[in-house]
Structure 1
Amino acid sequence: MPKQILSDAFRTVWSARWRIGTTLLVFSLFVGVLANTVSAKTVYIVSDSEQTAPLDAYDETSHDLLVQAGIQADVSGETGVLGASSSQLIVNRSQVVTVKYNGAASSIMANTNETVSSILSRLGIDVSSRDIVSVDIGDTAESGMVISVTRKMIYYQQVSETLGYDTQRVADPSVPLGTETVTQSGTAGSKTCTYEIVYEDGEEISRQLVNEEVAVEPVDEIVTYGTRALKIGFSDPIKSVSAFAGGGGIITTSSGATIQFSDAITCTATAYTTEGKSWKTTSTGTTARYGAIAVDPTVIPYGTKMYIVSNDGRYIYGIAVAEDCGGSIKGKKIDLFFDTYDECITFGRRDCTVYILN
Structure 2
Amino acid sequence: MRITSDGKTAEVYTTAAGVEDVLKKAGIQLGPLDKIEPALTQRLTASADVKIVRVQRVVEETEHALPFETVKQADKTLPKGKEKVVQEGQEGVLVKQIEKIYEDGVLVSEQVLARTVEQESLAKIVAVGTKVEPKPVSNAVAVLAAETQQITLDGMTFGVKGVLKNVTLTAYSADFASTGKNKGDKGYGITASGTTVQEGRTIAVDTSVIPMGWWVYIDGIGFRRAEDKGSAVKGKKIDVYFDSESYAQKFGTKKGYTVYVIGPKKPVTN
TM-score by length of 2: 0.43
More helix by share: 1
TM-score by length of 1: 0.33
- Structure number with the bigger relative contact order (C-alpha 8 A, sep ≥ 6) is 2
